[in-house]
Amino acid sequence: MAAPEDEKLSKITTPDTEGVRSIRLKAKQLRDRVNHFFTAWGIETNGIDPVPPAERTDNKLYQIFFVWFSVNMNIPTFGIGSVGPAFYGLGLRESLITILIVDLTTCTIPAYFAIFGPKLGMRSMVQARYTWGYYGAMVPSALNVFSMEGYLILTCIIGGQMLASVSNGHLNDTLGIVIIGVISFGVTFFGYRVIHWYAGVAWIPNVITFIIMLGVGGKHLTIEPAPGPVAPSQVITFATVIASSVISWCTTTPDYGVYHLQNASRMRVFVYAYLGFSVASITAHMLGAAFAASALSDPAWKLGFDNGNNVGGLFEAVLSPAGGFGKFITVLVALSTPSICAPTMYTFASSLMAVSYSFARIPRYVFAVISTAIFIPVAVVGATRFYATFTDILSITGYWSVVHGVMVLIEHFLFRRDNFNAYVLEDFDKPRRLPPGIAALLAFLCAFGIIIPCMNQAWYVGPISRAGSGDIGIIAGSCVICLLYPVLRAVERSFSTENRA
């Protein structure tokens, strides 16, 4: 879609205007030359235009499993599991049961969203325009930008802490964060195919490490009861954190299948994605809960864990009996954290490009540079209060992404009849051929009207949550969307000029 400024420039021929047009032309020529150079070296330069069916030629569907297995068989997922005992005061038994139930159910949502990638060839936030409209989709796109940057901050903090924990004081958290950030940038800069290749091997040191941790520290694991009576609100709030960490990937999963075959089996794509999420999430979440709960009674582990603020320190403490080999393994795991950073940074770029047609003109790799320049200094500051930063970012991301995901699924199943042909790819940048977005925006605002009083965060506890319900924000918000969006969307469609093919 041409920008309004371009339309005006085409009608004005003053000398000043000609100068502006000449500068723009030269800038475009320079960009094209740079893109051609990068493409020749295998660096992805594509923007957010849908990938045509003829270019969706990748038949390696198993890559979908490894991308999400690597993302979740990782230290941040381990850290999320540790939140139950460390932050919410749950015993190991309550934590494990909550993790199992929540992971088995919620992993189905991002796994289904993975199907949109091969079928439509569209990035997640571009596909959102078919629910939110062209201009309305700028809202979830902007929110996804902040969410992805939040995940990057958390992951780099953990990776940096792990590197610092084995350096005997020669390397602090700050330098560790910089190292993880630079490696993540390097993987992301090359784009889609390199991310898939990296994900295919990045999980190996993590699986080996988790096995070694069980072998070295297994005798110290105990079924620790909760330090006090466990209220239902504590379990619900922990379940919300787990669910948020899983479901929020629904704004990302389509991005990593856009080059796979359009006629790929929907069931195979779903199964690969579901197994990647569920097997890794359940394993890492449960290990995190087990080691965190046992750290409360083991002096060495407790010291390394630093009252729940240093996951890397807990790793180093558990593996310390293995001596130098334990330190080596800890470093390998820390250096594998880019397996979660790279996909996150990639989606940060595509989401930012979807916010505005002006951003869409900027090459994707430029946003990788911008993202790195932002999250490294913020991670350095956030490392001083890790768990508060951790739970705040996860929960806030979960509130909006769950509501968004529910709305997109209602649109897909109720109004597009689970028919991917109902999405006209050529309309992705034509506002009048897309939904107006009023229904989505109104439903979203109403959902947050009930989410806010149901929130339970360190900086704010809503009146409903304070009354003893726990954090039921994503549940209440999803119910509001299910009730309001179908009605509002039906009314919107009756007045809309959108393409319903």
Written in H, E and C, the secondary structure of 413-463 is HHHCCCCHHHCCHHHCCCHHHCCCCHHHHHHHHHHHHHHHHHCECCCCECH
The pLDDT value given to residue 107:
96
pLDDT above 80: residue 425: yes
Confidence of residue 277 (pLDDT cuts 50, 70, 90): very high
pLDDT above 90: residue 270: yes
Average pLDDT, stretch 16-36? Answer: 59
Short-list 230, 15, 220, 254, CA closest to 130:
254
Instruction: Show the domains of the chain with their CATH numbers.
Output: 52-384 (1.10.4160.10)
Mean pLDDT of the chain: 83
Surface-to-core class of residue 422, CB atoms within 10 Å of its CB (0-12 exposed, 13-18 middle, 19+ buried): middle
Q: Which CA distances in Å does 297 have to 221, 311, 354?
A: 10, 16, 49
What pTM, to 2 d.p., does this model score? 0.85
Most confident of 66-70, 196-200, 225-229, 460-464: 66-70
The pLDDT value given to residue 384:
62
- Determine which of 159-163, 165-169, 205-209, 407-411 has the lowest per-residue pLDDT on average: 165-169
Average pLDDT, stretch 299-320? Answer: 79
The pLDDT value given to residue 186:
83
pLDDT above 60: residue 26: no
Round to whole Å and give the CA distance between 443 and 449. 10
**What percent of the chain is predicted at pLDDT more than 70?**
85
pLDDT above 80: residue 450: yes
Confidence of residue 366 (pLDDT cuts 50, 70, 90): confident
Number of neighbouring beta carbons within 10 Å of residue 278: 21
206 forms beta bridges with none
pLDDT above 70: residue 176: yes
